[in-house]
Amino acid sequence: MTTTRRLTALAVICTALLAAPDILQRATAQQTDEPSEAPDHAMPSAPAAPAAAPAVHRLPAPPDAYVYIGWPNDGEVIRSNHIKIWFGTRNFGVAPAGTDVPNTGHHHLLIDTALPPMDEPIPSDKRHVHFGRGQTETTLDLPPGTHTLQLLMGDAHHIPHDPPVLSKRITIRVMAEKGSEPAAAAN
Ligand SMILES: [Cu+2]
b/e 130-151 (16+ beta carbons within 10 angstroms → b): bbbeebeeeebebebeebebbb
CA distance 157 to 121: 7
Helix (H, G, I), strand (E, B) or coil at 179: coil
Q: pLDDT class for 139, splitting at 50, 70, 90?
A: very high
Q: How far is the CA of 171 from the centre of ligand 1 (A)?
A: 22
Residue 52 is predicted with a pLDDT of 57
For the stretch 66-96, pLDDT in tens is 999 999 999 999 999 999 999 999 999 999 9
Helix (H) or strand (E) holding 67, with range, is strand 66-71
Q: How far is the CA of 115 from the centre of ligand 1 (A)?
A: 14
Q: How far is the CA of 29 from the centre of ligand 1 (A)?
A: 50
Q: How far is the CA of 87 from the centre of ligand 1 (A)?
A: 15
Residue 179 is predicted with a pLDDT of 64
From the number of C-beta atoms within 10 Å of its C-beta (0-12, 13-18, 19+), residue 26 rates as: exposed
Using the predicted structure, report yes or no on whether residue 33 has a pLDDT greater than 90: no
Average pLDDT, the chain: 79
Q: How far is the CA of 3 from the centre of ligand 1 (A)?
A: 87
pTM of the model: 0.67
Q: How far is the CA of 78 from the centre of ligand 1 (A)?
A: 27
Q: How far is the CA of 91 from the centre of ligand 1 (A)?
A: 19
Tell which residue, 86, 81, 75, has the closest CA to residue 169.
Answer: 75
Residue 89 is predicted with a pLDDT of 98
